[in-house]
Structure 1
Amino acid sequence: MIKKHKLYKSGKLLVTGIVLTAGIMVATGATTVHADTITNAKNTAIIDKGTTNSDVLVTDSSAPKGTTTQESLIADNDSNVSESKATDQVSTMPDQTLSVPTNQANTTPDNVSSSAPANQVTTSIDQNSGVSVNQATTATDNKSSNVSVDQTNTTSDRSVNTPTNQVAPAAAKDSNVITKKGWVNENGVKRYYVNNQLVVGQKKIDNYWYNFDKQGNYSVGLTNLSTKTVLYDNQGHMNYGYHWFNRGLMYFDTIDGHAVTGKRYYGNNKLEYYGSDFKQVRNNYVRTNAKTIYFFGANGDAVTGQRYYDNHKMEFYGNDHNQIRNNYVRTNASTIYFFGANGDAVKGERYYANSKMEFYGNDYNQVRNNYVRTGNTFYFMGQYGDAIKGFRTYGKRSNQVEYYGTNFKQLRNMSITVNSRKYSFGSNGDLIVANKPTYFSQLDSRWSSHKFNDYTMGQAGCVPTSIAMVLNGSYGMAVNPDNVRNVMNKISISSFGATGRDLVNTVKYYGRQVEQLSTATRTTQLLQQGVPVIFYVNVGGGMTHAITTFGYSNGATQVYDPFNREYYNGWYNINYISSKLSQDSADWNAGRPVFGIM
């Protein structure tokens, strides 16, 4: 806006009038001003001074920021002009009373009060009202002038009649207005203000996030915001990380503080899970889909590896924390588990594929290369864990052959025919390869008079004769009692007859194995398998005697007595024979004097 200054005379003073090239308004006579006709009281004020040589003052809200819109001028004795500039709006002095004398322009310096005689018009100016008064009093730097006179108070909502030749004063801001900023304690409640405005919603203050409701109260505890749920402590600060709340552990994101739900990975592939209530799952299962099941332990971590529960049941969780179902797990070279449809490790028989069978022990480990007994049923599990069917050969002896049926069960005390050949299996499942012994008598004239140790075969040759029966008949060796006598004469350490150790050494000489049988039960088992057995028994009169037995039927075995069947002839109960064992210490020098010849 262009400003022009022109000097006018007013009494003895030279007054500089301000002519505003835009927006000059002139009115004549007394003017009635109504506050409700002003469209913007803060930005626009129109004041009428009079009809004769009147100065007209206009404030224009369109003036640029910092441009002077009102001036107070004083001409000093040196005719120098000082100019005081106001801001871009008319300052008003709310609830203050201003009184000035007529026909006089007063300029009030800072902190100076002016008094005037009576009979003046006093106008009470509201901040939002524009009025005409009968004298111009200008306040510099927003200071107020107080004048004590007889006054007439008029509010901004009434019409004010003012005499001519008066100028409206510039209203100053009230210095008593309280500015609210920052934390304010209001009746014991802390609220936060920014430039007199109450803060609501989310606000970051001193590096802490707060949330304020519509009344300005900050949130405490678990709080649902528009896009997330967060936790505020008792000071209203948003919390992060782990926090116990409502008897549950929750985790709040370290970036935006939202309460985590679902899976959360941390550390070295550790896994936690938080439910829809934001609480961490502990000591429980979580199924996220049809194929994914987790278990979270007492510390909230997902389990990996073996987990035992209830009555020693076992589950297994992989490195991805998922429970294994319908699949194998190998934990080392000798340990393999299988987990069923419910996730439990299998025990006992397991059938799969085309009627194949596996077996898992009480420790859930799959049995491989070993026997399994369930009651009176025997299985053998091969190197891949499958149960064997058909013939199985083990060891080097001809009788070390087993047979397993189509139901995987081992045949014991049974016979089968395969390719027109009959096979019989004993009580231990081994193939019976021994035939019946060939009966020989020690009293046979072909050798009865031949010397055996310090006596003859007829007198003391029962042991070499019994051995010859087995070697010749059961195992097909071309030997007779006299042949065996010649060998024993070189081995025996006895004077009369042969000790238990003599028998063992002689049988081994011929390449056969000897098992010393410590119990009647074991004796029965071998006889059931078709293994010939030699007993040292007491036949009365302090005399001991060796006999050969073979076969089994109803607890009995057939006896081959080398002394022309004088003491035993036919079938005898095994327990009865066992009760007649020799008591000679020399006969016991290899253990209980009952020997299985294989």
Structure 2
Amino acid sequence: MGMQNHNNLYRTMIFGMSLLAGGQLGYTIVSADATTSSQTITSEISSEQSSQASLTTNSVSTSSITSSSSVISSSVADSTDVPETSSNRTTTASSAVNHRSGYVYAPDVSSANGGWNWLEHGQPYTGFRKYQGSYYWFQQGVRQNNQWETAWGHQYYVGADGRAVQGIQWINGKRYNFGTNGTFYLRQDNVSGYLNVPGVGWRWLENGQLYSGFRYYMGAYYWFQQGVRQNNQWESAWGHQYYVGADGRAVQGLKLINNHIYNFGTNGTFYKRAVPSGYVNVSGLGWRWIENEQLFTGFRHYQGSYYWFQNGVRQNNQWETAWGHRYYVGADGRAVQGIVTIDGVKHNFGTNGTFYEREMPKKAAKPYYYSQWDKRWANTWLSGGSFGATGCVPTSAAMVLKGTYGINVTPRQVSNQVSHFHESYGASGLDLKTMINAYGHSIQSLGTPNAVKSALQQGKPVIFFVNVGIGHAVVGYGYNQGNTEIFDPYNHQFYSGWNSVDGILSKLSKDPQDWDPGTPAFAIN
């Protein structure tokens, strides 16, 4: 009877220690850190058996406790303290595995993750469990990595280390928000704009999603494809075409793209439109002449002058050929006129706005000097007075015809070619024309100072109708630094020697009849 009471007391102690260790009869949690062996021995003592069973020395034997660091349930404090018993239940390693809970080494369940698995009451567990400060998802006991999971009506994501992620995460190139309050579930992400994605780079997001299309950013428009800024390519939107450059910005103005010029406007709309014709400034190229959206080659009139373009580029200081003629464009790109010295050689490009090169004029001889007061005709009658008083026009004409063109005539003979003078006193511009034409030559009205100077440079004699207090005609010949030699038929009373061309032009006659054939400065051809 004493031995039976002793055994009952011992079983009561075992039962209490079992409750303390496992929280319930026959249940013990074994931490993964507590053992490196698959051998776990758990005492299984039911309340019914506790009143009857007697522990034998075989229930916990020295052979069950080895140097392999086996874990023994707290229901058995020390094998040396357990008396012999006649119980027919023997605690085995197999029965111990079936009752483990937690993250344990159980390669017989799965060898994934080094053989560590989550068990609940010895069974592989599926769901979330907290372990060492983090939450993990297990599938049939196996820790899951890098995948989505669903629980409690929410979505979660476990990373490469198996932990449920928090905060802003980029998964397969997309942004997700899992909060920062320890709840871990996916929630709506309303972030928009150009953001730096860790490990990816800058991306454009709209409500947390990678965006495709145009967006305005820091004063310019950019095109994004799946959040990525696009460069150096065409894009289509709103029924138009656009081009984004090397910096990603939508371009404006005239642009050269793959050797073709495109127009994207300058009003902030950025879309491609027709290229204007004319002399335009192309970004990256400079000024170019464009026609029908192509770079033009040839002459074009621009701001009062003619210019030669080669593939749209204005040419300078070189010869050009067109329409069967040769032309020369100067340092400013303009086609030159008049007598021009090129590489030390004089060339004649005319003065009539045709610009092409022609033969140099033969140098006319110097006018032969006649005086209208020559006694051979001074006292003869001419248009309202004596020849000496009114004969300046036929005398000037006779000087040119005889000296320059070799026609042996006198002033009196020249005046006789006019049957009816247009002036009541002296001769008019139309009368001069009649006199010159009678000898097979012509007059050319020179309407500008440059035209006058060019004619003089070419060696042509010029008859000026001037006002010296009375109407008068004189001959100019030669040109030197703005001056010409004047032959005054009035015995050189009003002009003598070399005089300023501009000074003479400032005193042109104001008699309307002198202007009938044009400006009264006439080159005699």
Q: TM-score, normalised by structure 2?
A: 0.47
Higher alpha-carbon Rg: 1
More helix by proportion, 1 or 2? 2
